[in-house]
Amino acid sequence: MSKKSNAKIRIGISSCLLGDKVRFDGGHKHDRYITDTLGGYFEWVPVCPEVELGLGAPRETMHLEQSADDIRLIMPKVGRDLTEPMQAYARKRTAKLAREDLSGYIFKSGSPSCGLYHVRVYGAGGMPSRTERGLFAAAMAERFPSLPIEEEGRLADPHLRENWIERVFAYWRIQKLWNSRWTVRDLVSFHAAHKLILLAHSPKALPALGQLVAGAKGMPCAELRREYHEGFMSVLAIPATRGRHANVLQHMAARCFDLEDLSGAV
């Protein structure tokens, strides 16, 4: 087996979650589950937008602030506006990460740069009145809409954690397909191998994906790849349920009975 085949799946991550002392107070937010458990399967690609922007650690605190027509990234104590520098950095960093062969990303919750959900936005009165995404997390989500992304805090929820991990491995497998000299036959085999997994996530969405594969020979490769990739990952983003898992098991049992009948007929 080649060294490349043994390589771990590459995951982008907020550096502080690995124990790097890059926080505003010079500390870290080391997450032992991430490093000790998930680290057995993943290779980390650490990113700290604030340090990489040149702000250093420790540094003045910053937050998202509502201006007249948009959201700004502000250091309130010194009145420094970092919105444009962070946006410029995010464009360059996401372009570089596109070459890192990532299959997922874990962000630090609550961060004005890396928070993925419910990052506080402060108004003129100094009180948070709404929530947004951090500027860098928003840029990542826009650049990589199908990449499995999550916050470390939400990974404590077993259902969210299971869904994210499943999507990471699925993303890794489909990227291996696209990076090969794939043919329509390869795509048909890939879809067949994942059919029951997709069924557990969305029985309603599965037929459309199947029809796309059935008509694959009449489509340009780039269009076929784009539409299947988006459809495949969007179906997996729908949480599987116990009921749909039971439905899959019934399908599997029915198929086994059919095979037994055919074997008896022979």
Domain boundaries, the chain: 4-156, 181-265
Distance CA 60, CA 25 (A): 8
Burial 241-251 (b: 16+ CB within 10 A, else e): eeebeeebeee
Burial of 174: CB neighbours in 10 Å, binned 0-12, 13-18, 19+ = buried
Total Cβ atoms within 10 A of residue 220: 8
Q: What is the pLDDT of residues 67-104, one digit of tens each?
A: 888 899 999 999 899 999 999 999 999 999 999 999 99
- Does position 113 have pLDDT exceeding 70, yes or no? yes
Any idea which of 112-126, 175-189, 190-204, 244-258 has the lowest mean pLDDT? 244-258
Q: Please name the helix (run of DSSP H) or strand (run of DSSP E) that holds residue 81, with its range, or none.
A: strand 80-81
Using DSSP's 3-state secondary structure scheme, residue 202 falls into coil
Q: Is the pLDDT confidence value at 261 over 70?
A: no
Burial class of residue 184 (count of CB atoms within 10 Å of its CB; 0-12, 13-18, 19+): middle
Query: What confidence tens digit (pLDDT) does each residue in 10-30 have?
Result: 999 999 999 999 999 999 999
pLDDT tier at 265 (50, 70, 90 boundaries)? very low
Please provide the average confidence, as pLDDT, over all residues in the chain.
91
The β-bridge partners of 13 are 46, 106
* Comparison of pLDDT for 124 and 8, the residue scoring more: 8
pLDDT (mean) for 198-206: 92
Q: What is the pLDDT at residue 107?
A: 98
> Phi/psi of residue 168, each to 5°?
-60, -50
pLDDT at residue 257 greater than cutoff 70: no
pTM over 0.75: yes
* C-alpha torsion 112→34→4→140, nearest 10: -20
pLDDT in tens, 168-200: 999 999 999 999 999 999 999 999 999 999 999
Instruction: State the average pLDDT over residues 233-241.
Output: 94
Mean pLDDT of 147-161: 96
Cis bond upstream, residue 85 (ω within 30): no
Q: Which two tokens stand for residue 93?
A: 């960093």
